[in-house]
Amino acid sequence: MPIQNKITRTEIRMYKLGTGDCFGIKFYDKDGLSYKLMIDCGTWKGTKEYLSPYVSDLVSWFGNEVDLLVITHEHKDHVYGFEACEQLFTNGFDAKQVWMAWTENDDDPTIQDWMKRYGQKKKALAKATEKISVFVHDEFNHQAYEHEKYASQIIESRKSFSAKLSDLVDLQFSLDNQVYVGNLKGMKIVKDKIAKGKLVFKNPGDIIRGLKGLPGVNIYVLGPPKSWLSIKKENGGEGESYKHNREIFKSDAFAAAVLNESEDYTEELPFDRKYVIDRNSSAWEKAMRNYKNDGSEWRNIDFDWLQGAGELALRVSSMTNNLSLALAFEFEPSQKVMLFPGDAEFGSWASWHEIDWNSSVPKVENSDHLKKGVVEDLLNRTVFYKVAHHLSHNGTAKRLGLEMMTHSDLVAMATLDYNIISEGWTSTMPNVEIVKELVKKTKGRLLVMNEKGLLADRKTKESLADCVKNGKNALSPKERKEFDENCKNETYYIEYNLQL
């Protein structure tokens, strides 16, 4: 049966708030505007005065209401706009429905328990970050390096580490006088003031069909995974993830130590249990007297122990990314797909391929859903990809992700801007392998928030702008004309019109 008033095109706007996601999407049928969707509103940082013109333009473009607001996950670069520009979202703006991942259901006892333990890691990180900041700026502690040849470089490197660690904390934690207090303010504003009883939680394997205003559009919920192991997994093995020189280690023991918790983390300790000393024993007092002996400060490992905060920060950040609500929009009858994965990392991408879709995917004879996996088929038909995690190495799976995006019409958008970003991220974003693969897959149809300062090759110093420009040589004259006609780069946003 033919679909009445099918969706014929979408307008996709990537707002230039800075490194972070803020997308507006309008869906049109033959009679005009049919549906309005907003996904996230975040950026690394920015004042209300700076961000307001961007958010005002977005709200005005939507006519002060959206049919659906999607919040992918609780990171500042995805929700900070709701905090900085709260009045614009709570005074006359209406979201008819709000979607979040199943992990945001505060009333679920299982999630409450998990978030309590997750919150403990956040508290540990906040506490360790504060200690490190005090330590690296303490002149007394600098004396331990006064005889070192490179004393000033050591001190500066530790100050730099402290600053970058603070950036990671700021990205994901709501603090009050350096004490973790729960949800980021932007997230609380969405839950308490914008959603107002219209909040719906989505699970992997859900397929939403028949939304009013979206005839013939099927929305597949891919993530976040239900498996704790998948949530914790940042990288895959050889051929599964794009290369990076970082490894993340276990950090539960570190979190427990910082908080002086009583839980038994024996399995996480790097030494046998018989070497653990009871803090209330005379042996502990003797050990501490020797450890704190005058003239032996240089032997102390206080700061080296706290360096574990870096591993904990990266692990917690990675887990939050893997909690992203990842969505694929399938359009009938064209069968084209838009993919919005939030900041999903490898563990989430891999989990998509393990979802049991049997009860929700219709059994159509000769369907590619039956010949291959449902997610592989969706990726094969993806014509628009919102690049996960700002072109980072772990934001896009390789074999189970980008290599499956084989459609000749693929276009990608990436939310990366060196003008507004943590300094620590500039060495890892963009990942050069992902850039080159995306340029090849899209034939240069890669739209980046701000190309200035970005390199596609760190050895040859080839700029990302030149790489994208050269990639467009693979387009036919017809493809080049169509792409140029469907793109706009304005002051507040980059817009792409996807023809369906």
Integer CA distances (angstroms), 133 to 103, 105, 136, 199, in order: 32, 34, 6, 39
CA nearest to 75, candidates 322, 302, 254, 274? 322
Question: For residue 222, what pLDDT is reported?
Answer: 97
In contact, 327 and 373? CB cutoff 8 Å: no
Q: What stretch of H or E contains 56?
A: helix 48-61
Question: Residue 381: helix, strand or coil by DSSP?
Answer: coil
For residues 24 and 143, give the distance between their C-alpha atoms in angstroms, rounded to a whole number.
54
SS (H, E, C) 217-258: EEEEEEECCCCHHHHHCCCCCCCCCCCCCCCCCCCHHHHHHH
Question: For residue 462, what pLDDT is reported?
Answer: 95
β-bridge mates for residue 457, sequence order? 462
For the whole model, what pTM was predicted? 0.78
Question: For residue 226, what pLDDT is reported?
Answer: 85
Q: If you search the block for the tokens 């990671």, which residue do you land on?
A: 168
SS (H, E, C) 399-444: CCCHHHCCCCCCEEEECCCCCCCCHHHCCCCCCHHHHHHHHHHHCC
Q: What is the pLDDT of residues 152-168, one digit of tens each?
A: 665 565 666 656 556 55
Cβ atoms within 10 Å, residue 178:
14
Question: For residue 261, what pLDDT is reported?
Answer: 46
Question: For residue 406, what pLDDT is reported?
Answer: 97
Question: For residue 165, what pLDDT is reported?
Answer: 57
For residues 499 and 7, give the distance between their C-alpha atoms in angstroms, rounded to a whole number.
9
Question: For residue 433, what pLDDT is reported?
Answer: 93
CA nearest to 436, candidates 485, 407, 472, 471? 471
Series of mean pLDDT values for 10-residue runs along the chain (500 residues) = 78 97 97 97 94 98 98 92 96 96 84 63 62 62 54 60 60 49 80 94 94 96 82 63 47 48 45 68 76 57 54 57 92 95 92 83 51 88 96 90 97 96 80 94 98 92 96 97 97 97
In contact, 417 and 464? CB cutoff 8 Å: no
Question: For residue 284, what pLDDT is reported?
Answer: 76
Q: Spell out the residues 6+ positions from residue 303 whose beta carbon is closer than 8 angstroms to its own.
A: 132, 135, 136, 141, 158
Question: Is the peptide bond prior to 270 cis by the omega test (within 30 degrees of 0)?
Answer: no
CA–chain centroid gap for 49, Å, is: 25
